[in-house]
Amino acid sequence: MSVRENLLSVKQQLPAGTQLVAVSKFHPIDVVMQAYDAGQRIFGESRAQELVAKVPQMPADIHWHFIGHLQTNKVRQVVPHVSMIESADSVRLLQLINKEAARIGKTIDVLLQLHVAQEEAKSGFAVEELLSVLTLGELSGLDNIRIRGLMAMATLTDDQAQIDREFALVHDTFSTVKEEFFAHDDAFDQLSMGMSHDWHIAVKHGSTLVRIGTAIFGERQY
């Protein structure tokens, strides 16, 4: 199947209200452009250097999402190029993103990344930690970021029931955070979860953004 056919097949299966982030990391421009030519406009990258190299080679009407762990010393490189940072995983990083956005006169969308997977290597706030950060008001007054919702990754496993439990927990946490801290903020409306192997499950749990690479572009050549 071609990139175009893969893309259209995924999009056709997504419920109304769920958007596709085409994860283009490690794929060359000519391949990524096939998705653009098929109508895709939101792309996800996970490394600052690759993002910065790709942006000028692709059309300007693309919305780039940063989805990987963002090191604090890469914030300045990334902020000008992206419409959303999905992987905000610490208060310090959010403060730095805000500071850099303010410096260049931009307001940037962010998602708070939640850690629910079993792998320790995955980053993000633990559920209790996130609730405590919000209760203490540690993210208030950051006027150049707009907190749009939560992002999470499930454990990489064949155990569907476990993935199901993890996405259910993310959705529960989203509802709690929305209700307790963003009830009057219409912009807090995004839940990013689901990748090539588990997006069908994520969608059942209310995902509004699925981040899909392999199922569209094929295996990555590292």
What is the C-alpha to C-alpha distance for residues 97 and 107, in angstroms, rounded to an integer?
A: 10
Minimal distance, residue 42 CB to ligand PLP, in Å: 13
Question: Which CB atom, from 69 or from 99, has the smaller least distance to ligand PLP?
Answer: 69
The single residue among 23, 48, 111, 134 that binds ligand PLP, judged by CB under 6 A, is 23
The single residue among 78, 145, 195, 202 that binds ligand PLP, judged by CB under 6 A, is 195
Question: Which CB atom, from 147 or from 209, has the smaller least distance to ligand PLP?
Answer: 209
Q: Which residue is nearest to ligand PLP (CB)?
A: 213
Footprint (CB under 6 A) of ligand PLP, residues 96-155:
153
- Decide: is 196 part of the binding site for ligand PLP (CB under 6 A): yes
Distances (CA, A) of 71 to 66, 84, 180, 206: 12, 16, 30, 29
Minimal distance, residue 40 CB to ligand PLP, in Å: 14
Question: Which CB atom, from 68 or from 149, has the smaller least distance to ligand PLP?
Answer: 68
Question: Which CB atom, from 139 or from 195, has the smaller least distance to ligand PLP?
Answer: 195
- Part in contact with ligand PLP (CB under 6 A); list of ranges 2-10, 98-106, 161-169, 209-217: 209-217
Residues in touch with ligand PLP (CB under 6 A): 23, 25, 46, 67-68, 153, 195-196, 211-215
